[in-house]
Amino acid sequence: MKNCPHIMVVDDNQDMLKIINRTLELEGYTVITASDGRAALALLEEHSPDLIILDIMMPETDGFQVLELLRERSNVPVIMLTARREPLLVQKALLLGADDYIKKPFRPLVLVARVRASCDVPR
């Protein structure tokens, strides 16, 4: 059974990073954060996260671009995170290789459940 003790969270909103970081740390996960796509790609060279939670709407390198580059070198599970609700964005994310899609705002318990489901971690 796959486990995801190390999670990378990528979001340009510092408040969102803090909320997700705290939520996951309380569940026993080790969290690495990045505030933009370029920083995330650089951190991927240093760390090997077991799961990535990736915001779509970020300046310069958006979440879709990061996902495309990531899929060229890794099959790590990715949960896309965004405030946008258009069905075509969900479709695009999944077709690019995302494993799940969470819409903001979300409940922390839902985030944890989605993380567990993406990692096959028992409750």
pLDDT at 54: 98
Asked whether residue 89 is domain-assigned, the answer is yes
Asked whether residue 62 is domain-assigned, the answer is yes
pLDDT at 2: 53
Q: Which parts of 11-120 are beta strand (E)? A: 30-34, 51-55, 78-82, 100-103
pLDDT along the chain (123 residues), means of 10: 82 96 95 95 90 94 95 94 89 95 94 90 43
Asked whether residue 110 is domain-assigned, the answer is yes
Asked whether residue 123 is domain-assigned, the answer is no
Contact 66, 43 (CB under 8 A): no
For the chain, how many structural domains are there in total?
1
Q: How far apart are CA 98 and CA 64, in angstroms?
A: 9
Asked whether residue 16 is domain-assigned, the answer is yes
Q: How far apart are CA 35 and CA 17, in angstroms?
A: 8
CA distances from 108 to 19, 43, 98, 99 (A): 8, 25, 20, 18
Asked whether residue 15 is domain-assigned, the answer is yes
Q: Which domain holds residue 50?
A: 6-118
Number of neighbouring beta carbons within 10 Å of residue 14: 10
**β 100-103/30-34 pair status:** unpaired
Taking the whole predicted model, whether its pTM rises above 0.85 is answered as yes
pLDDT at 95: 95
For residue 32, the domain's CATH number is: 3.40.50.2300
The alpha carbons of the chain give a radius of gyration, in whole angstroms, of: 13
Asked whether residue 82 is domain-assigned, the answer is yes
Asked whether residue 1 is domain-assigned, the answer is no
